[in-house]
Amino acid sequence: MKHEFVIIGRKISFFICLLLITVGCEEKEKGDTFTNESVKQVAQHYYTLFAQGDAQRFVEGMANAESFDADYKKQMQNVVTQATKELERKGGVTRVEALSDTLYSSDSTAYVYLDLVFSDSVHEQIGVPMAFIKGYWKMK
């Protein structure tokens, strides 16, 4: 009887170790970092989506977008789609480049300056306010 408890105990110990190893090796989702390079990359990414007409993913990049109700989210996507059409009338954006940024550690925000380059080589510079929320940069 004692021998059976030892075998059962070893099996349980084995499975617990296997479970801990599996959980420990599980890949964690990586967030952004509160750095100049990270905020510039994220802002550039979102505005590249904008220039490509991906209204849904652009809106998902807005601060607190997960709490938007479905109607409001759809309205925001429609506004973005209309704005994208305006860019296309100017010849379309061929490149989005982050020029500079300013980080504000006191309230976990940043301001990124982007250069939108159109097909006719015209440059338009815009400023994008960003907020660092739960480990991710989002547009304000």
List pLDDT tens digits, range 72-101: 999 999 999 999 998 888 889 999 999 999
Asked if 139 and 61 count as a contact pair (C-beta separation under 8 A), the reply is: yes
- For residue 49, give every residue at least 6 positions away whose Cβ sits within 8 Å of its Cβ, in sequence order, or none: 57, 58, 61
Closest alpha carbon to 47 in 55, 121, 65? 55
Comparing C-alpha atoms, which of 58, 63, 61 is closest to residue 80?
58
Q: Which candidate, 24, 32, 84, places its Cα nearest to that of 56?
A: 84
Q: Which CATH number fits domain 30-139: 3.90.76.10, 3.10.450.50, 3.40.462.10, 3.40.640.10?
A: 3.10.450.50
pLDDT for 108 beyond 80? yes
C-alpha–C-alpha distance, residues 82 and 57, integer Å:
15
Taking only the tens place, the pLDDT of each residue in 37-82 is 999 999 999 999 999 999 999 999 999 999 999 999 999 999 999 9
Straight-line distance from the first to the last Cα atom of the chain, in angstroms, rounded to the nearest whole number: 67
Cα(42)–Cα(30) distance, rounded to whole angstroms?
14
